[in-house]
Amino acid sequence: MRILLSLLTVTIALQAQTVQEAKAFLDEAEATLLKQANFVSRAQWLQSTYINPDSEMQAALANEQYIGIVKDYARKATRFDKVKLPDDMARKMMLLKIGLTLVTPEDKAQATELTQLMAKMESAYGSGKYCRDAPQDKGRCLDLQDITLIMANSRDPKELLDVWQGWHKVARPLKTDYKRFVELGNKGAREIGFKDMGAMWRSKYDMPPDAFAKELDRLWEQVRPLYVSLHAYVRTKLREKYGAAVVPEKGPIPAHLLGNMWAQSWDNVYDVVEPKGATKTYDLTSILKQKKIDELEMVRYGERFFQSLGFAALPKTFYQRSLFTKPQDREVVCHASAWDVDNDEDLRIKMCIQVTGEEFSVIHHELGHNIYQRAYRKQPFLFRDSANDGFHEAVGDTIALSITPEYLVQVGLLDKATDPSGDIGLLLKQALAKVSFLPFGLMIDQWRWKVYSGEITPENYNQKWWELRRKYQGVDEPGRSEADFDPAAKYHVAANVPYTRYFLAHILQFQFHRSLSQAAGCKTPLHRCSIYNSKEAGAKLDQMLSMGLSKPWPVALEAITGKPEMDATAIKDYFAPLQKWLDQENKGKAVGW
């Protein structure tokens, strides 16, 4: 018995020592990764706000070092696979292994090549321009900001096609680089045990990769009928505007006619599809300009919204260090983004803000990232992230859903709320921004996952891209070939940013909004609810935000919504009056493509 007890004591001691070693390993990893992550953030900030070969190289080197360190810790973490660890430590070990969206190969030359390719592609996108050849333009070069305004405001189909094709020329030279990027990225993923980069990305959602793919299909099927109805109505209106020679009665809509470079949101063509006899909705862009609200004050409106929920004001350094407008003396990446440079209080946004209603919402979206980043900053480093990447994108958009007429009255931007009889117009405009995005948010990674798996090859990159866009979005290519590389005309492809998060965010934001509106005691229809000034809603939101990545996302979701499953029925609830109206409008007309 004594021998057995002695053996048991030794076994327990060894086990305890092993757990203690695991804790020491995690403590060291978190301290090292925190320091290196902050270094990478500063290098990437410089690359994005001062585009030049030197900043590109520094960002590439910093990224290469960080990836190498994470890979090393991921491999070392496997030593503890058979050790029974406390739940929080076991989760940290798991997160170490799946924390990257890009893994460099072991070969040092290939690792350097891959990170340099990444910096090069992102910079090429950020500095891209379309230089017109027409004599009347005198060789004028348009950047994406210029083209975005034309896409939003022009109603000349020839001009729209011209700038659409012009911007997509920027992506053509990236095809060879992207092919090599895929080869090297897949090699790195395989070296740490994944089938390819797509499998690695899908492993980040607290469920098996194949189960996650099925979950996306389930959510899409919940919202697809509403999208198909919206598509049919918009196609009819565009056909009335541009004629049968430009827009078909049946089939996909030409991609360049929807007011956005990627046809990912259609709210810019509201004037074309506005319901006949509808009560005029307010024009927030005009209101902002009439009241002389500048870019910085637009940011302060967003900050005050979060303060009304009980969140602290942003740090002074936020206003000192952020980039709010496009500099005249250098190239920058204007794509809006939020930054947590030191994983603590150095919060920033990077935007080339334009005084528009759309940008007003984008600011709320980006500040949502910052508020989330600050909420989980007291978590251990490996838990300083959102419950899943869709949560991070959803938070600010949830707040943007509260930019209702009632809210605009409260903050002095409207004299009185618009009459509810005009809500079909209001809902249609919102659907053009939100519902239209859903299939685009889904298909980008559907394409990439097939590229990473080898199902789509470089010989048919563009063909398969447009097949998926027709399948999911019902939009068509305006004269493309395999000489083009249209996927990289979207920032997230050129910069290797996963995109499924945005699809999830568009599902989650309505689910969050429904729950927070209930917490705020809102009695109006869901699309009229604003949680502005509700400390109850703010407390519920903060409960979820402060968890960070410390728990699986269903736990965080349950904290805010009361249920652990993602559910797109909140979108149906929000747009129920519009669905009924669309069904009437589409009677006797072609639906689907």
Mean pLDDT by 10 residues, the chain (593 residues): 37 56 96 96 94 91 91 88 93 89 92 93 91 72 92 95 95 96 95 91 90 93 97 97 95 96 95 84 90 96 97 97 94 92 95 93 94 97 95 92 93 89 88 96 97 97 97 94 95 94 95 97 94 97 97 96 95 96 95 94
Structure tokens at 125: 């996108």
Phi, psi of 406 (to 5 degrees): -65, -40
φ/ψ bin of 297: left (φ > 0), alpha (ψ from -120 to 50), beta (otherwise): alpha
For residue 546, the SS3 value is coil
42 DSSP 8-state letter: H
As beta bridge partners, residue 131 has 141
**How far, in Å, CA of 496 to CA of 158, rounded?**
32
DSSP 306-365: HHHTTPPPPPHHHHHH-B-S--SSS----S-EEEETTSSS-EEEE----SSHHHHHHHHH
**How far, in Å, CA of 161 to CA of 110, rounded?**
39
**How far, in Å, CA of 212 to CA of 371, rounded?**
27
Structure tokens at 508: 């989650």
pTM for the predicted model, two decimal places: 0.86
Residue 593 is predicted with a pLDDT of: 94
**How far, in Å, CA of 409 to CA of 419, rounded?**
13
**How far, in Å, CA of 150 to CA of 160, rounded?**
7
Residue 17 is predicted with a pLDDT of: 54
**How far, in Å, CA of 188 to CA of 513, rounded?**
39
User: What sign does the CA torsion over 265, 268, 271, 272 have?
Assistant: negative
Beta strands in 69-115 (DSSP E): none
**How far, in Å, CA of 409 to CA of 287, rounded?**
12
- Counting every residue written for the chain, the total comes to 593
Amino acid (1-letter code) at residue 183: E
Question: Which residue in 208, 202, 214, 206 sits closest to 101, CA to CA?
Answer: 202
**Which tens digit of pLDDT belongs to each residue from 72-89?**
998 888 889 889 999 999
Task: Give catalytic residues, as residue numbers.
Answer: 335-336, 365-366, 369, 393, 492, 502
Structure tokens at 394: 């959803």
CA 298 to chain centroid: 21
φ/ψ bin of 592: left (φ > 0), alpha (ψ from -120 to 50), beta (otherwise): left
Place of tokens 């810790």: 73
Beta strands in 155-261 (DSSP E): 253-254
Residue 136 is predicted with a pLDDT of: 60
Beta strands in 515-554 (DSSP E): none
Amino acid (1-letter code) at residue 284: L
As beta bridge partners, residue 347 has 340
C-alpha dist (Å) from residue 302 to 154, 308, 337, 349, 533: 29, 10, 15, 12, 13
Extents of the domains making up the chain? 13-122
Amino acid (1-letter code) at residue 386: S
Task: Yes or no: say if 492 and 363 are a contact pair by the CB < 8 Å rule.
Answer: no
Which residues lie closer than 8 Å to 543 by C-beta, 6 or more apart? 559, 560
Phi, psi of 160 (to 5 degrees): -60, -45
Structure tokens at 226: 């509403």
